[in-house]
Amino acid sequence: MAAPTTARKLARRLGEHLRTQIDHRGRARSACGSRVLESVLTCRLLEDDARYPTALAAVRSYLRAAGDRDDLTPVDQVLLGTADARNALAGFGHHTAGRKRVLMSAILHAAGVPEAPAPPPTVVADGSLHTWKQAELTACRVICARAAGTAVPDDHLDTLAGLLLRPQIFEGNHLPHLLFLHALRPYPAHRVAVRHGLDLLVATQHADGGFSVAEYFDTWVSSIVATALTEAGTGREVVARTAAWLAACQSGDGGWSYTPQATQTDMDTTYTVMVFLHNHDPARYAPHLQAGHAYARGMQNTDGGWPTYRRGSMSEPAMTGGALVVLAQHPDAHAEQIVAGARWLAGVQKPDGTFERGWSLAEGNAIFRAVHGLCAARGRLALPPTVADAVDHALSLAAGYLERTQNRDGGWGHHAGRASDPVSTGYALAALGRLHRMRPVPSALEYLAARQRPDGGFDAPADTAAPRPIPVDVPVLAPAYVLRGLARCGG
């Protein structure tokens, strides 16, 4: 079958599947799969509270079944008692690694892991940390101080109790909530806050008995699904509901948060929402896009790149690629910012053509976002010659990496040498389509055709990380990114 025909057939079935994932309000189904991490921490809490015997039995059942899986992460294995605690963050090199060591020490002590490592020196929170990370580090300090036998400041305990006593889980993020609970559990004076916080948590238990890092990533995921449908030219009436819902979710600072439950906006969600609104109906949503452009301008760091959450945090390639796409919607008004961002992004590419992976476990995710941003900058603005040359070189390196790492079955994996999966293949096709490098496409389409489910969707291993590097499964992302790839390849 000719490649364009195969792409169209795959895309048609996939579009039909994705349209069914959007509810009457316009939100895509974005439930997060259960994880061992949150389930173990919840199980420990339920063992001390006799009010929830059914929930305790269910989470124990989930954990017993999880022990037989073959996709457990090193963190999962440590929490389930099948690996040494020293291996929990083995090989994790990232600008957040210092904080992650503090976080992991607190998690292991809270979970009662035998021979949990001694708490490292506490990382000091600064003003560049986002809302739940600052609170999470406070909880980690309490847990680690108690484990080390040192004094715990009362103001730390009072701060955490105030966050637990809210009517809903703070920022919609369950892992910090769990750490608040474990930090306060030993202190009788905060029993009311702990009981209330546990009530909120148990209400989110999944049907399989497990718990996860959040109930939904609904703003972020809905924008990705709607973008895929829009790029594929299908489902306009369905995504019109999504556009209205997303526009209403915009925060006062002009950005968007990953879920309406969170107040902390981020460049990642803002990028995906603005790409969708611009593609769907730029005239109708011009005020929202204008406010989003102001948000993106204000987030740019002095090095030219963009962080995820707050200006002053480390610039990241995936965020910078997204910001370039957003500002390139009106290139003449943002020429200075685009040039600085393109220069920075091309300059941080690795020699093999990859970029730091950001919030994904797949190399292709950051490559696609970087390619998207650099192509937008190059295509919408006359870049200075030195920057234009750097951008061209970066795009050539990215294309070369994708072409040489395609597996024999036609797909791509999370990284070179890894087994193929549909979402990584979607990322690769989306990037190659923008680069007009179509030689790998026919065999990639054959790979996808062989793996499309009867309902039109796709299954893939989790590639989103939250917090980095711990995977969280959001099943609808795989079909959405496959459709985005097909849309760039004649689908």
The three-point CA angle 204-205-209 to 5° equals: 170
Same domain, 398 and 418: yes
Same domain, 161 and 63: yes
> How many contiguous H segments (helices) and E segments (strands) does the chain have?
20, 2
Distance CA 105, CA 83 (A): 15
Same domain, 277 and 146: no
In a domain? residue 361 = yes
**pLDDT of the residue at 91:** 60
Query: Model confidence at 129, in pLDDT bands (50, 70, 90)?
Result: confident
Domain final residue pick, 177, 203, 229? 203
Reading the block at residue 408, the tokens are 């024999």
Radius of gyration of the chain (CA): 23
| Domain limits for position 237 | 1-30+217-490
pLDDT for 373 beyond 80? yes
Given 76, 268, 421, 473, the catalytic residue: 268
Same domain, 23 and 63: no
Tell which residue, 313, 318, 227, has the closest CA to residue 273.
Answer: 227
Peptide bond before residue 467 is cis, with ω within 30 degrees of 0: yes
Catalytic-residue membership of 303: no
**pLDDT of the residue at 176:** 97
- How many C-beta neighbours within 10 Å does residue 168 have? 10
Q: How many domains does the chain divide into? A: 2
In a domain? residue 211 = no
Same domain, 189 and 223: no
In a domain? residue 210 = no
pLDDT for 259 beyond 50? yes
**pLDDT of the residue at 383:** 98
pLDDT (tens digit per residue) in 410-436:
999 999 999 999 999 999 999 999 999
Percentage of residues in the chain with pLDDT exceeding 70? 95
Same domain, 3 and 66: no
Element (H, E) at 450: helix 441-451
Local structure of residue 26 (DSSP, 8 states)? S
pLDDT (tens digit per residue) in 23-68:
999 999 999 999 999 999 999 999 999 999 999 999 999 999 999 9
Domain final residue pick, 171, 203, 235? 203
Same domain, 115 and 256: no
Question: Where are the extended beta strands (E) located within 234-383?
Answer: none
Same domain, 198 and 270: no
pLDDT (tens digit per residue) in 350-369:
999 999 999 999 999 999 99
Same domain, 49 and 23: no
In a domain? residue 364 = yes
In a domain? residue 173 = yes
Residue 239 φ then ψ, to 5°: -75, -15
Same domain, 410 and 387: yes
In a domain? residue 208 = no
Which has more confidence, 121 or 277? 277
CATH number of the domain encompassing residue 6: 1.50.10.20
- Span 183-203, average pLDDT: 98
In a domain? residue 456 = yes
Element (H, E) at 465: strand 464-465
pLDDT (tens digit per residue) in 136-189:
999 999 999 999 899 999 999 999 999 999 999 999 999 999 999 999 999 999
Percentage of residues in the chain with pLDDT exceeding 90? 89
Element (H, E) at 472: strand 471-472
Of the given ranges (106-120, 171-185, 205-219, 474-488), which has the lowest mean pLDDT?
106-120
In a domain? residue 212 = no
pLDDT for 1 beyond 80? no
Domain final residue pick, 180, 203, 226? 203
Same domain, 328 and 433: yes
**pLDDT of the residue at 379:** 98
> How many Cα atoms sit within 13 Å of 88 on the Cβ side?
25
Peptide bond before residue 167 is cis, with ω within 30 degrees of 0: no
- Span 381-395, average pLDDT: 98
Same domain, 237 and 149: no
Average pLDDT, the chain: 94
pLDDT (tens digit per residue) in 71-114:
999 999 999 999 988 767 666 666 666 788 889 999 999 999 98
- Span 217-244, average pLDDT: 97
